[in-house]
Amino acid sequence: MPELERYVLTLLGQLDMDLREAAEAYELNRYLRRLTDFANEDLSAFFFDIRKDSLYCDAATDPKRRAYRTVLDVLFHALVRYAAPILCFTAEEVWQARFPSEDGSVHFLEWPELPALPGDEPLGTDWADVRSLLEPRSRSDRARDAARRGGARRDVHRRAGE
């Protein structure tokens, strides 16, 4: 499995531990914040941004694409179960869309069992360095997006005033 996919599974393992601790302490705000941050920062802004072209451009038999799809499946099973206590109806709707069943439910499932990845401890520091190099690009992307939204708002106000 490529190193990036192993790194994301390592991050998922850390998320799993954090969510277990928050749930056991009944700290639902921390639980939700950690889950949201993982989805936004680790997945959307980092992992999906790097691997998005793999699904469309790589051959179906390409090992990198197959590893990416495997990680997506692990993420799906874990994240839907993590979301179920907080976003009850949404999690159920997502689960039923993928696994339609009249008698099955995401709420009947146990906490996810994550795949073991022996020897992945050094991955965190290496990929943290890569992420720090990508941070200036992320900040500039956010500034560009904010400027675009601001321009769109000005256009709406101009049209409304006409």
Residues 107 and 131 placed together within one structural domain of the fold: no
Residues 93 and 56 placed together within one structural domain of the fold: yes
pLDDT given at position 158: 53
Helices (H), the chain: 3-24, 28-37, 48-57, 63-83, 88-98, 123-161
Residues 88 and 159 placed together within one structural domain of the fold: no
Residues 147 and 115 placed together within one structural domain of the fold: no
Residues 84 and 143 placed together within one structural domain of the fold: no
On whether the CB atoms of residues 35 and 83 are closer than 8 A, the answer is: yes
Residues 29 and 94 placed together within one structural domain of the fold: yes
Cβ neighbors of 124 (< 8 A, separation 6 or more) are 7, 10
- 35-44, 74-83, 144-153: least confident range: 144-153
Residues 25 and 47 placed together within one structural domain of the fold: yes
Nearest alpha-carbon partner for 28 in 80, 108, 82, 78: 82
Q: What's the pTM?
A: 0.77
- Residue 76 domain boundaries: 3-119
Q: What is the pLDDT of residues 22-70, one digit of tens each?
A: 999 999 999 999 999 999 999 998 899 889 888 889 999 999 999 999 9
What integer is the mean pLDDT of 117-132?
63
Residues 84 and 139 placed together within one structural domain of the fold: no
Residues 72 and 131 placed together within one structural domain of the fold: no
Q: For residue 124, is pLDDT > 70? A: no
